[in-house]
Amino acid sequence: MNFHRIFVEPWQSHAAHYWPVFAMALFVTVACALIGNYLVLRRISLIGDAISHSVLPGIAIAFMMTGSRSGAPMFVGALVAGVVATVIIEVLHSRSRLKQDAAIGITFSTFFAVGVILISIHGAHTDLDLDCVLFGKMDFLPGREPVFLGLPGVTVTMAALALCVGLLIIIFYKELLLSSFDPALAASMGINPRLVHYLLMAVLSVVVVGAFTSVGAILVIAMLILPAATSCMLSDRLWVMLILSVLHAFISSLGGVHIAVALQVPTAPASVVAGAGIFAIVWIVSPRQGLISLWLRNRRSDQVAEA
Amino acid sequence: MIARNINQPLAVFLLLVLVTDVSAARIGEIIENDPWEQARRFFTFSDPGLRIGLSGALLFGATCGLLGSFIVVRKMALIGDAISHAVLPGVAMGFLWSMEKDPMAILAGATVAGLMGSLVVELIKRTTKIKQDAALGIVLASFFAVGLCMIRMIQNNDGASRITGLKSYLFGDVAVLDRQDVVTMTGVVTVTVMLVILLYRPLLIIGFDREFAHSIGLPVRLLDGLFQLFLTFAIVVALQAVGVVLVSALLITPAAAAYLLVNRMHHMLWVAAAIGMLSAVIGVFFSFLGSNLPTGPFMVLGASSVFLVAYLFAPRHGRVTRWFRHRSRRRDVSNENTLKSIYRIIEKGSADNDAGSVVKIESLAGERRVSKVDLFADLRRLRRVGAVEFVDQGGDVMLTEIGIQQARQVVRNHRLWELYLTNEADYASSHVHDDAEKIEHFLSEEKVAEIERQLDYPVVDPHGQPIPGRGEA
């Protein structure tokens, strides 16, 4: 009965509701997962967190001006806020004694605080409230009229975004790979590592803003990092990692929908919980870096030492 | 319709400029309260709830400042952020434990969750090839997501009555503090201050040089663990008033401001604690003006404004102070160059009157190779310190006694340095001018005397020009 309610019903009687939710979760996690691989490789994971916090005031102001939770104004507002925050971080970091981590911490918390204040002054009973910032509103997407395959417009946009990210990665695979692992070599081969970095940041901001409506400002860091972290425990090859992280994104969004049904919680945190669960399982059983194999190896080397 | 479209950006702009006023007006609509009246009540401390909130703010502001100082110098800012997000499931657990707001249960739950968070970060770093940044991100977001799910489940089960209690843990609400919270806080703060005083030296050594700490036999891992424990305590104590999402800012920002203001660690600790208290009180003030607004963001903005002031006006490192210092140094250099030019014109005997002491502004501008406007600015400053006198309206000048002394000194510095470079450092005499041009302004009296002694009191420079003596008139 319970099994039926959690695993079967969403795809039978409520398919019209759950199919778009699942699709949205899938596209958001796939887009984030793909770009997240490069964040993890370049050891700048927390930049994603900083950007997703910093865009909040831009989103809030754009929302106040237009009264809608989607569309170009929000992108513009978020982009402006993101760029301003990046510049401030750079200025604080290079023109004072502060280290980069403190500069990031100060800037993004200030921006986030401004955003929260704007939203709580204006948005108490509107579409954009503090719940949206925390939980995301994957289950209540705006503009529910299906435009394609039973999916609403925002989901189709997100799908296009995920596709674009995928295509960009395929086209610029070599450039991204080289500049992530060996910037000096990349530069010697005529690839500008700074340009690659800024383009990556630009794509990251677009993805983060696109994901904001459905996963909020805080959880997006999980969608960026968990897939890449999970797949880097399973493989050393970048293209395998990319494929595995898409797989992780698929399983976590599917699991997220079912966890959300089972526990009656929003889908966004539920898929993060699912993703974290996959990470934990892989961490334990991964053949090379897993806790079990680590334990076995340690025991074997102890035995060798005793013998 | 059109009018409305035009007005909306304006309204947003006003909202941005007058955030506090607008919020206050909004509150005024709801509880019929005048913001001035609220401000008066704030400053007379007539509200008992406010007194509790303020004392709480002072307590956790100080704790966050103290521990934040170590975080900033150890470059652990993002660790504080991760731990503060990771305490959320613990808060929910503590809430479930007693099914009401029991500060002790929540404190315990949050502490356990925070410690588990930092433990998992360590474990991931140690057993896999995942680096610190990704490990922090994983723990931050996973724990936070679990906490959010638990909170939503509690809300589902208990209805709306408990939501307010939990909501304050996310964005902070100083109004929910009660006497028991303040008592708990006092305990935590006392222990933290004692810890910092007792373990100041070991913590300092670990913060700056772990290898050295190891080598002198400090229990580094134990101290690290202890520090993490107290960091978690500090976060948990500030949690209700600041909120999970923003509490890390209260650790980082006041300490970073203090870092810009002072140079020594023990000064930084007290300054950071003071700034922490100030930020917390600012946050209480603004959220008191508008009672349904979350407190945390206002505290963060308070801390950020203090930081901004420190960034701009810190006595040694402030941007504005440095700019003023540079400007005054540039002006000094420019003044001295002008004096030197006047001296050289007189020396060459091409002065513009018979007595050989008045210099026309045109010939001075030619010698100095600057525009007359810039030159005039220099001359006016020089007249103010009594180094030159204007002979007439056109800008012809002559040096006063003070001016002659100063000019001689600069020329002397210049020519002695040229000679020093040619004789002692084997420079070609054609290459020494530019270097001397720079250093002439910064040589001290003693240095010049020493050079002079070393060169055995020379009278001409490498170009054959006389080196003016110190006391000559």
Tokens for A304, please give them.
């060798």
Best mutation target among A117, A226, A265, A288 (most B Cβ atoms within 10 Å) is A117
Q: How many CB atoms lie within 10 A of CB A306?
A: 6
pLDDT of res. B354: 60
CB contact burial B396-416 (16+ within 10 A = b; e otherwise): bbbbbeebbbbbbbbbbbbbb
Q: Kindly state whether A80 is in contact with chain B, defined as any CB-CB distance less than 8 angstroms.
A: no
Tokens for A182, please give them.
């060996």
Q: How many CB atoms lie within 10 A of CB B127?
A: 16
Do B310 and B346 belong together in one domain? no
CB contact under 8 A, B145 and A222: yes
Residue A65 has its nearest CB partner, among B9, B22, B259, at B9
Would B470 be classed as within a structural domain?
A: no
CB contact under 8 A, B245 and A110: no
Minimum mean pLDDT range among A37-41, A143-147, B127-131 = A143-147
Half-sphere exposure of residue B376: CA atoms within 13 angstroms, side-chain side = 7
Q: What is the CATH number of the domain that holds B264?
A: 1.10.3470.10
Q: What is the CATH number of the domain that holds B339?
A: 1.10.10.10
Which tens digit of pLDDT belongs to each residue from B290-327? 656 778 888 999 999 999 999 888 888 888 888 999 99
Q: Kindly state whether A92 is in contact with chain B, defined as any CB-CB distance less than 8 angstroms.
A: yes
* Per-window interface: B 314-343 vs A, CB < 8 A: 317, 319
**Mean pLDDT over residues A126-143, rounded?**
71
Q: Is the pLDDT of residue B40 over 90?
A: no
Contact present, A107 and B303 (Cβ < 8 Å)? no
**Alpha-carbon torsion, ordered A24, A285, A6, A137, to 10 deg:** -30
Would B10 be classed as within a structural domain?
A: no
CB contact under 8 A, A113 and B249: yes
Chain A closest CA to B261's CA: distance in Å?
11
Q: Kindly state whether B91 is in contact with chain A, defined as any CB-CB distance less than 8 angstroms.
A: no
Residue A276 has its nearest CB partner, among B16, B22, B145, at B145
Residue A112 has its nearest CB partner, among B8, B12, B246, at B246
Taking CB atoms and an 8 Å cutoff, what residues of chain A touch B76?
101
Which tens digit of pLDDT belongs to each residue from A259-269? 888 888 888 89
Chain B closest CA to A66's CA: distance in Å?
9
Would B413 be classed as within a structural domain?
A: yes
Instruction: Count Cβ–Cβ pairs < 8 Å, chain A vs chain B.
Output: 215
List the Cα angle A214/A220/A224 in 5-degree steps. 125
* Per-window interface: A 141-180 vs B, CB < 8 A: none
Residue with tokens 């006497």: B179
Residue A113 has its nearest CB partner, among B130, B138, B300, at B300
Contact present, B214 and B220 (Cβ < 8 Å)? yes
Report the distance separating Cα A208 and Cα A86, nearest Å.
15
Contact present, B317 and B97 (Cβ < 8 Å)? no
Which tens digit of pLDDT belongs to each residue from B436-469? 888 888 888 888 888 888 888 888 887 778 888 7
Residue A65 has its nearest CB partner, among B12, B141, B252, at B12
Would B380 be classed as within a structural domain?
A: yes
Indicate the average pLDDT of chain A.
Answer: 83
Would B252 be classed as within a structural domain?
A: yes
CB contact under 8 A, B138 and A276: yes
Which residues neighbour B383 within 8 Å (Cβ) at sequence distance 6 or greater? Answer: B389, B390
Q: Domain end: B281, B301, B317, which one?
A: B317
Residue A96 has its nearest CB partner, among B127, B132, B311, at B311
Q: What is the CATH number of the domain that holds B421?
A: 1.10.60.10
**Mean pLDDT over residues A20-47, rounded?**
87
Q: Kindly state whether A285 is in contact with chain B, defined as any CB-CB distance less than 8 angstroms.
A: no
pLDDT of res. A15: 65
Q: Kindly state whether B287 is in contact with chain A, defined as any CB-CB distance less than 8 angstroms.
A: no
- Highest-confidence segment of A66-75, B100-109, B166-175, B294-303: B294-303
Taking CB atoms and an 8 Å cutoff, what residues of chain A touch B148?
134-135, 219, 265-266, 269
pLDDT of res. A30: 93
CB contact under 8 A, A46 and B85: no
CB contact under 8 A, A98 and B260: yes
Domain ranges of chain A: 7-134+153-306
Report the distance separating Cα A213 and Cα A70, nearest Å.
8
Would B30 be classed as within a structural domain?
A: no
Contact present, A279 and B142 (Cβ < 8 Å)? yes
Would B94 be classed as within a structural domain?
A: yes
Q: Domain end: B317, B336, B363, which one?
A: B317
Report the distance separating Cα B233 and Cα B110, nearest Å.
9
* Per-window interface: B 235-254 vs A, CB < 8 A: 245-246, 248-249, 252-253
Q: Kindly state whether A218 is in contact with chain B, defined as any CB-CB distance less than 8 angstroms.
A: yes
Do B266 and B325 belong together in one domain? no
Report the distance separating Cα B82 and Cα B79, nearest Å.
5
Do B277 and B201 belong together in one domain? yes
Mind spelling out the 3-state secondary structure of chain B?
Answer: CHHHHHHHHHHHHHHHHCHHHHHHHHHHHHHCCCHHHHHHHHHHCCCHHHHHHHHHHHHHHHHHHHHHHHHHHCCCHHHHHHHHHHCHHHHHHHHHHHCCCCHHHHHHHHHHHHHHHHHHHHHHHHHCCCCHHHHHHHHHHHHHHHHHHHHHHHHHHHHHHHHHHHHHHHHCCHHHCCHHHHHHHHHHHHHHHHHHHHCHHHHHHHHHCHHHHHHCCCCHHHHHHHHHHHHHHHHHHHHHHHCCCCHHHHHHHHHHHHHHHCCCHHHHHHHHHHHHHHHHHHHHHHHHHCCCCCHHHHHHHHHHHHHHHHHHHCCCCCHHHHHHHHHHHHHHHHHHHHHHHHHHHHHHCCCCCCCCCEECHHHHHHHHCCCHHHHHHHHHHHHHCCCEEECCCCCCEEECHHHHHHHHHHHHHHHHHHHHHHHHCCCCHHHCHHHHHHHCCCCCHHHHHHHHHHCCCCCECCCCCECCCCCCC
Which tens digit of pLDDT belongs to each residue from A86-95? 888 888 888 7
CB contact under 8 A, A279 and B138: yes
pLDDT of res. A111: 92
Do B427 and B394 belong together in one domain? no
Q: Kindly state whether A226 is in contact with chain B, defined as any CB-CB distance less than 8 angstroms.
A: yes
Residue B319 has its nearest CB partner, among A95, A102, A112, at A95
CB contact burial A108-117 (16+ within 10 A = b; e otherwise): bbbbbbbbbb
Residue A109 has its nearest CB partner, among B133, B170, B300, at B300
Residue A192 binned pLDDT confidence (cut-offs 50, 70, 90) = confident
Would B387 be classed as within a structural domain?
A: yes
Contact present, A274 and A262 (Cβ < 8 Å)? no
Residue B410: give the domain boundaries: 403-454
- CA distances (Å), origin A55, targets A79, A108, A211, B33, B211: 7, 9, 12, 34, 40
Which tens digit of pLDDT belongs to each residue from A218-251? 888 899 999 998 998 888 888 888 999 999 999 9
Contact present, B175 and B291 (Cβ < 8 Å)? yes
The amino acid sitting at B300 is V
CB contact under 8 A, A65 and B128: no
Do B354 and B431 belong together in one domain? no
CATH (one of 1.10.3470.10, 3.30.70.100, 2.40.128.520, 1.10.3720.10) for A7-134+153-306: 1.10.3470.10
Tell me if ipTM is over 0.95: no
- Highest-confidence segment of A138-152, B293-307, B370-384: B293-307
CB contact under 8 A, B296 and A116: yes
**Mean pLDDT over residues B174-191, rounded?**
82
Taking CB atoms and an 8 Å cutoff, what residues of chain B touch A270?
145, 149
Contact present, A46 and A233 (Cβ < 8 Å)? no
Residue with tokens 């039973």: A150
Do B327 and B257 belong together in one domain? no
pLDDT of res. B178: 78
Best mutation target among A84, A101, A263 (most B Cβ atoms within 10 Å) is A101
CB contact under 8 A, A117 and B293: yes
Q: Kindly state whether B170 is in contact with chain A, defined as any CB-CB distance less than 8 angstroms.
A: yes
Number of domains in chain B: 3
pLDDT of res. B6: 43
Q: Which of B304, B307, B328 is nearest to B318 (CA)?
A: B307
Taking CB atoms and an 8 Å cutoff, what residues of chain B touch A230?
none
Do B297 and B384 belong together in one domain? no
Q: Is the pLDDT of residue B274 over 60?
A: yes
Do B271 and B387 belong together in one domain? no
Q: Which of B340, B372, B297, B366 is nearest to B436 (CA)?
A: B340
pLDDT of res. B33: 58
Which tens digit of pLDDT belongs to each residue from A254-290? 999 888 888 888 888 999 999 999 999 998 888 777 7
Do B327 and B206 belong together in one domain? no
* Per-window interface: A 42-61 vs B, CB < 8 A: 43-46, 48-49, 61
CB contact under 8 A, A219 and B141: yes
Which tens digit of pLDDT belongs to each residue from B218-258? 888 888 888 888 888 888 888 888 888 888 889 999 999 99
Q: Is the pLDDT of residue B14 over 70?
A: no
Q: How many CB atoms lie within 10 A of CB A163?
A: 13
Do B291 and B350 belong together in one domain? no
Percentage, residues of chain B above pLDDT 90: 8
Q: Domain end: B291, B317, B343, which one?
A: B317
Return phi, psi of residue A175, to 5°.
-60, -45
**Alpha-carbon torsion, ordered B432, B436, B437, B441, to 10 deg:** 180
The amino acid sitting at A58 is G
Distance of CA B235 to the CA centre of its chain: 22
Do B308 and B225 belong together in one domain? yes
Indicate the average pLDDT of chain B.
Answer: 80
Do B365 and B388 belong together in one domain? yes
- Find, in chain A, the residue whose alpha carbon is nearest to that of B156: A264
Is 0.90 surpassed by the pTM of this model?
no
Q: Is the pLDDT of residue A56 over 70?
A: yes
Q: Is the pLDDT of residue B396 over 70?
A: yes
